[in-house]
Amino acid sequence: MNFVVVGRRNCNFCDKAKELIRNKGATASYYSVEESGWLLDLFRKADIKTVPQIWTINGEYIGGYNQLETYMKGE
């Protein structure tokens, strides 16, 4: 399975999310809100204040790190 992770630098939960995904044999495309002006703008408009934010590659919204852990247990 493939995931999209949106995070920022020096974010322990972002790093843990990417590690959890890799450890389950899946892949993650990573995007930083600090390096992408349109993502930061989107997050502000959607009132998203925390990272990581995680989706499946098919567009299913997972949530943050804790939700990812729960999702992966059900896999």
CATH of the domain at 50: 3.40.30.10
Residue numbers of the domain that contains 61: 2-73
Residue 27 · residue 34 · CB < 8 Å: no
Q: If phi over 0 gives left and psi between -120 and 50 gives alpha, with beta otherwise, what is residue 6? A: beta
What's the whole-model pTM score? 0.91
Q: How confident is the model at residue 74 (pLDDT cuts 50, 70, 90)?
A: confident
Total of domains in the chain: 1
Q: What is the mean pLDDT of the chain?
A: 95
Give the residue-averaged pLDDT of 47-58.
96
State how far the alpha carbon of 57 is from the alpha carbons of 12, 36, 44, 45, in Å.
22, 19, 22, 22
- Answer yes or no: is pLDDT of 75 > 80: no
